[in-house]
Amino acid sequence: MSHINEAFKNGKALIAFLTTGVPSVEDTVRYVLDMEKAGATLIELGVPFSDSIADGPVIMEADVKALASHVHLPQVMEAVKEIRKHTSIPIVLLTYYNPVFRYPADKFFREAKNIGIDGVIIPDMPHEEQQEIRPLADDNGVDIIQMVAPTSEARIRANVKDATGFVYVVSSMGVTGMRGDIKTDLKDIIKVIKETTDTPVAIGFGIHTPEQAHNMAALADGVITGSGVVDIINKEGSKADEDLMAYIGGLKKGMEQ
């Protein structure tokens, strides 16, 4: 059984994303522990990348800062090693394929297993193209998280039929970012997913208020927040601990109401 299931075993999962290395790798490690204390049950670590096509301006700003500090995939792997000295919380990397390809992929998945990375999300690698790396992931017990956007029922079923870890449902078309209103018919999308797989479903893209977290938790097994976290860190740098914990705590409370 995937270690990611630990995030969902005691109720709804709260999944928190942050860009690794902003403002420093040491701060990232501390913020992961802060968010776990505040109620996060799974952490997504973003691998800084120069052409992050799925990300909005907040996360792109963080990527620029991290890359300027020379934080790339090897430094992210080192951050995971440090985090693992303090917690066993499930960790998923969100990375574009280029850094994995250059690592290269076989070495990446071996190291991922050894240091305690539980899954990867690769936004620019559609389900059909994952077959070249799936054996590497499976052999090392690393889940490839499937992202599902609003699309046809047939495509949704094809994307999730062999899903492991959790299914990442994109709440809105476009790039990441905080949204005031989420209008996608998520109920029907999740119904199709649930008919196809027993893998937990989490909703992301745009969730940043307790009310949104409450509404999304009513539909799915988990809620993902990213831009809200990154925005706090972008603005407050190394002094974001208090506001970050309050933000995560507020979302957690909203989910439980």
- For position 179, what pLDDT does the model report? 38
Q: Does 183 score more than 50 pLDDT?
A: no
Q: Is 53 exposed, middle or buried (0-12, 13-18, 19+ CB in 10 A)?
A: exposed
Tens-place pLDDT, residues 139-157: 999 999 999 988 889 999 9
Task: Match domain 13-144+204-256 to its CATH number in 3.20.20.140, 3.10.100.10, 1.20.20.10, 3.20.20.70.
Answer: 3.20.20.70
Domain boundaries, the chain: 13-144+204-256
pLDDT over 90 for what percent of the chain?
A: 88
What are the DSSP calls for 80-97, one per residue?
HHHHTTT----EEEE--H
Predicted pLDDT of residue 182: 40
- Residue 8 has what DSSP assignment? G
Mean pLDDT of the chain: 93
Whole-angstrom distance, CA of residue 8 vs CA of residue 23: 30
**Count of Cβ atoms closer than 10 Å to residue 130 Cβ:** 16
Active site residues: 44, 55
Give the C-alpha separation, 36 to 74, whole Å. Answer: 24
